[in-house]
Amino acid sequence: MAGDGITPDTRPGAPRPGRCSLEAVSKSRLEAFSDGVTAILITIMVLELKVPHGADFAALRPLLPIFLTYVLSFVYLGIYWANHHHLLHGTERVNGKILWANTPFSSGCRSCRS
């Protein structure tokens, strides 16, 4: 580092060069990561929908329970994502505790939160 024109940040709590710091994660990165996880979950859900075997409405009847389950799951996930978005909107900064608290959302574990 000597002679490269870059001086290390010597403030207390500043991340050290070459180390990953949980304090260095921005709120927008956490929001983007959570949005990505939600998008992946929706994509996996839609992959379970099957193409009907016929071209009339009678061919859709056996798929109706699966489709309604998808719609309800999509609405539930949308509500969960919106609540998470509003929760992060009120957050001023992200630290390690926030990252660990966000882990159940990121892993898809809905029952881990109270």
For residue 45, the enclosing domain spans 22-49+57-107
Does residue 103 lie in a domain region? yes
The answer as to whether 38 is a domain residue is yes
Q: Is residue 3 part of a domain?
A: no
The pLDDT, as a whole number, for residue 72 is 95
1 in a domain, yes or no?
A: no
What's the CA gap between 94 and 29, in Å, rounded? 10
In a domain, 11, yes or no: no
In a domain, 4, yes or no: no
Number of domain units in the chain? 1
- pLDDT (0 to 100) of residue 8: 60
- Assigned domain for 6 exists: no
Q: Does any domain span residue 35? A: yes
Q: Give pLDDT tens digits for 12-60.
A: 655 555 555 555 678 888 888 888 988 998 899 888 888 888 888 888 8
